[in-house]
Amino acid sequence: MKRYLGFIVIYFILIALSLISTAYLEIVYYTLFLMVISQSLNILMGFGGLYNFGHAVFIGIGAYVFALLVVQGLSPYVSMIIGGVASSFVAFLIGMLTLRLRGPYFAICTLCLVPAFKYLIVGGKIAGGAAGIVLLRHLIEAYNPYILTYILLLLSVIITLLTLKMSTSSLGYSLKALREDHDAALTSGVDATRCRVIAFILSALFPGIAGGIVAFKIFWVMPETVIDLTWSIEAILIVLLGGSGTVMGPILGALVYEALKDLLMRYFPGLQLLIFGLLVVILISMAPEGITGLLSNRFKRLKGFLI
Amino acid sequence: MLVYGSIIGAVYGLATMGLNLVWGVMRVVNFTHAEFLTLGAYTAYWAWVLIGLDPISSLPLSALLGFAIGMLMFYILIYRLLFSPDIHSTLVATFALGIALAELMKVLWTADYRGITWALGVIKHSWLSIPITYVIAFTACILIMIMMYFILYKTYIGKSIRAVIWDSGAAAICGVNVKKTLAVGFALGSALAFVGGSLILVYLPTGLNPYMGHVYLLKCFVIAVVGGLGNPWGALVGGLILGLIEQAAPILLGYIPGVEPLSFTPFVGFLILIIVLLIRPEGVLGER
Amino acid sequence: MALLNVDNVVKRFGGVTALRGVSLVIREGEILGLIGPNGSGKTTLVNVITGVYPPDSGKVIYEGRDITKMPPHLRCRMGIARTYQIPRPFNNLTVLENLMVSILNGRRHGKISVDEAKELAEDILEVVGLSKLKDYQAKSLNAQGRKRLELARALGAEPKLMLLDECLAGLTPSEVSEMLSIIRRIRDEKNITILMIEHLMHAVMNISDSVVVLNEGMKIAEGKPEDITDDVKVAEVYFGDRELALKFVKR
- Say whether A102 sits in a helix, a strand or coil: coil
Rounded CA gap, A86 and A84, in Å? 5
pLDDT in tens, B262-275: 667 778 778 888 78
Whether residue C176 is found in the same domain as residue C245: yes
Chain A with chain B: Cβ pairs closer than 8 A: 127
C26/chain A closest Cα distance in angstroms: 20
Q: What is the mean pLDDT of residues B271-281?
A: 77
- At A87, the pLDDT band (50, 70, 90 cuts) reads very high
Task: Work out the angle at residue B279's Cα, subtended by the Cα atoms of residues B278 and B283, and round it to the nearest 5 degrees.
Answer: 95
- At A304, the pLDDT band (50, 70, 90 cuts) reads low
Report the b/e string of C69-93 with b at 16+ CB within 10 A: ebebbebbbbbbbbbbbebbbbebb
Q: Number of structural domains, chain A?
A: 1
Query: For residue A7, what are the CA distances in angstroms to A300, B48, B88, B117, C92?
Result: 18, 58, 29, 60, 24
Instruction: Report the sign of the C-alpha dihedral through residues A113, A115, A121, A125, in that order.
Output: negative
Residues in chain A within 8 Å Cβ distance of C52: 183, 186-187
CATH number for the domain spanning C164: value is: 3.40.50.300
Selecting from B84, B93, B218 the residue whose C-beta is nearest the C-beta of A281 gives: B93
Asked if C210 contacts C9 with a C-beta cutoff of 8 angstroms, the reply is no
Residues in chain C within 8 Å Cβ distance of A187: 50-52, 72-73, 76, 81-82
- At C46, the pLDDT band (50, 70, 90 cuts) reads very high
Choosing among B273, B274, B279, B282, which should be mutated to test the A contact, i.e. which has the most A CBs within 10 A? B274
Whether residue C49 is found in the same domain as residue C171: yes
Rounded CA gap, C135 and B27, in Å? 34
Chain B residues 249-268 with CB within 8 Å of chain A: 258-267
Q: Are A123 and B93 inside 8 Å of each other by CB?
A: no
CATH number for the domain spanning A270: value is: 1.10.3470
Whether residue C72 is found in the same domain as residue C95: no
Whether residue C25 is found in the same domain as residue C64: yes
Helix, strand, coil share of chain A (percent; to 5): 80, 0, 20
User: In sequence order, what are the beta bridge partners of C4?
Assistant: C26, C62
C17/chain A closest Cα distance in angstroms: 23
User: In sequence order, what are the beta bridge partners of A134?
Assistant: A220
C-side interface with A, Cβ within 8 Å?
Answer: 50-52, 71-73, 76-77, 81-82, 84, 88-93, 97-98, 100-102, 104-106, 109, 114, 153, 156-157
Chain A residues 183-222 with CB within 8 Å of chain B: none
User: In sequence order, what are the beta bridge partners of C61?
Assistant: C5, C66
Residues in chain B within 8 Å Cβ distance of A288: 84, 86, 89
Selecting from A116, A129, A276 the residue whose C-beta is nearest the C-beta of B270 gives: A116
Asked if B191 contacts B18 with a C-beta cutoff of 8 angstroms, the reply is yes
Q: Containing H/E element for A73?
A: none
Selecting from B218, B258, B278 the residue whose C-beta is nearest the C-beta of A97 gives: B278
Residues in chain A within 8 Å Cβ distance of C109: 189
- At B288, the pLDDT band (50, 70, 90 cuts) reads very low
Query: For residue C79, what are the CA distances in angstroms to C10, C129, C155?
Result: 23, 23, 10
Q: Are C84 and A184 inside 8 Å of each other by CB?
A: yes
Q: What percent of chain A has pLDDT over 70?
A: 97
**SS3 annotation, B120-174:** CCEEEECCEEEEHHHHHHHHHHHHHHHHHHHHHHHCHHHHHHHHHHHCHHHHHHC
Q: Are A185 and C109 inside 8 Å of each other by CB?
A: no
Is pLDDT larger for residue C55 or for residue B179? Answer: C55
pLDDT in tens, B37-83: 888 888 888 888 888 777 777 888 888 988 999 888 888 887 777 77
Residue of A nearest to C157 (CA): A188
Which chains are within 8 Å of B by 3+ CB pairs?
Answer: A
C120, C136, C158 - which closes a domain:
C158
Spell out the residues 6+ positions from residue A145 whose beta carbon is closer than 8 angstroms to its own. A22, A25, A26, A29, A217
Which chains are within 8 Å of C by 3+ CB pairs?
Answer: A
| Eight-class DSSP state of A268 | S
C141, C158, C175 - which closes a domain:
C158
pLDDT in tens, A8-38: 889 999 999 888 888 889 899 999 999 999 9
Q: Are A112 and B218 inside 8 Å of each other by CB?
A: yes
Whether residue C99 is found in the same domain as residue C143: yes
Residue of C nearest to A193 (CA): C73
Q: Count CB-CB contacts under 10 A for residue B273.
A: 23
What residue numbers bound the domain in which C237 lies? 2-79+160-250
Residue of C nearest to A180 (CA): C90
A201 and chain C in contact, CB less than 8 A? no
Residues in chain B within 8 Å Cβ distance of A123: 259-267
Q: What percent of chain B has pLDDT over 70?
A: 86
Whether residue C154 is found in the same domain as residue C164: no
Tell me the pLDDT of chain A averaged across its residues. 88
Question: Does pLDDT of A74 surpass 50?
Answer: yes
Which region among A244-248, B198-202, C45-49, C134-138 has the lowest average model confidence (pLDDT)? B198-202
Rounded CA gap, A173 and A195, in Å? 10
What pLDDT, on a 0 to 100 scale, did the predictor assign at position A37? 95
Q: Are A187 and C50 inside 8 Å of each other by CB?
A: yes
Q: Are A274 and B103 inside 8 Å of each other by CB?
A: yes
Q: Number of structural domains, chain C?
A: 2
Choosing among B99, B109, B252, which should be mutated to test the A contact, i.e. which has the most A CBs within 10 A? B99
C140, C158, C176 - which closes a domain:
C158
Question: Does pLDDT of A307 surpass 70?
Answer: no
Q: What are phi and psi of B126, to 5 degrees?
A: 40, -100
- In this structure, chain B runs to a length of 288
Residue of A nearest to C50 (CA): A187
Question: Does pLDDT of B285 surpass 70?
Answer: no
Q: Are A186 and C76 inside 8 Å of each other by CB?
A: yes
Q: Are A170 and C104 inside 8 Å of each other by CB?
A: yes
Is pLDDT larger for residue A51 or for residue A304? Answer: A51
Is pLDDT larger for residue A101 or for residue A198? Answer: A198
Spell out the residues 6+ positions from residue A193 whose beta carbon is closer than 8 angstroms to its own. A99, A100
Alpha-carbon torsion angle B135, B136, B138, B142, nearest 10: 130
What pLDDT, on a 0 to 100 scale, did the predictor assign at position C127? 86
Rounded CA gap, B17 and B20, in Å? 5
- The burial class, CB within 10 Å (0-12 / 13-18 / 19+), for A60 is buried
Helix-helix angle B2-26:B156-166, to 10 degrees: 70
What pLDDT, on a 0 to 100 scale, did the predictor assign at position B13? 82
What residue numbers bound the domain in which A127 lies? 2-305
Chain B residues 30-89 with CB within 8 Å of chain A: 77, 80-81, 84, 86-89
Query: For residue A134, what are the CA distances in angstroms to A64, A71, A78, A128?
Result: 11, 9, 19, 9
Whether residue C234 is found in the same domain as residue C202: yes
Selecting from B77, B87, B101 the residue whose C-beta is nearest the C-beta of A103 gives: B87
Whether residue C164 is found in the same domain as residue C44: yes
Q: Are B93 and A280 inside 8 Å of each other by CB?
A: yes
Tell me the pLDDT of chain B averaged across its residues. 79
ipTM over 0.90: no
Q: B156-163: long-range contacts (C-beta < 8 A, 24 or more apart)?
A: B157/B181, B157/B184, B160/B184, B161/B21, B161/B25, B161/B185, B161/B188
Is pLDDT larger for residue A104 or for residue C142? Answer: C142
What pLDDT, on a 0 to 100 scale, did the predictor assign at position A267? 85
Residue of A nearest to B254 (CA): A123
Whether residue C28 is found in the same domain as residue C149: no
pLDDT in tens, C191-222: 899 999 988 888 888 889 999 999 888 898 88
Q: Count CB-CB contacts under 10 A for residue C213.
A: 23
Chain A residues 159-188 with CB within 8 Å of chain C: 168-170, 173-174, 176-177, 180-181, 183-188
Choosing among A45, A274, A289, which should be mutated to test the B contact, i.e. which has the most B CBs within 10 A? A274
Residues in chain A within 8 Å Cβ distance of C53: none
B91 and chain A in contact, CB less than 8 A? yes
A46: nearest Cα among A253, A249, A234, A205: A249
What pLDDT, on a 0 to 100 scale, did the predictor assign at position A251? 93
- Phi-psi label, residue A220: left if phi above 0, alpha if psi -120 to 50, beta otherwise: beta
Choosing among A173, A181, A182, A297, which should be mutated to test the C contact, i.e. which has the most C CBs within 10 A? A173
Selecting from A111, A129, A273 the residue whose C-beta is nearest the C-beta of B103 gives: A273
Whether residue C151 is found in the same domain as residue C171: no
Whether residue C74 is found in the same domain as residue C93: no
Chain A with chain C: Cβ pairs closer than 8 A: 79
Residues in chain A within 8 Å Cβ distance of C93: 173, 176-177, 180
Whether residue C172 is found in the same domain as residue C142: no
A257/chain C closest Cα distance in angstroms: 26
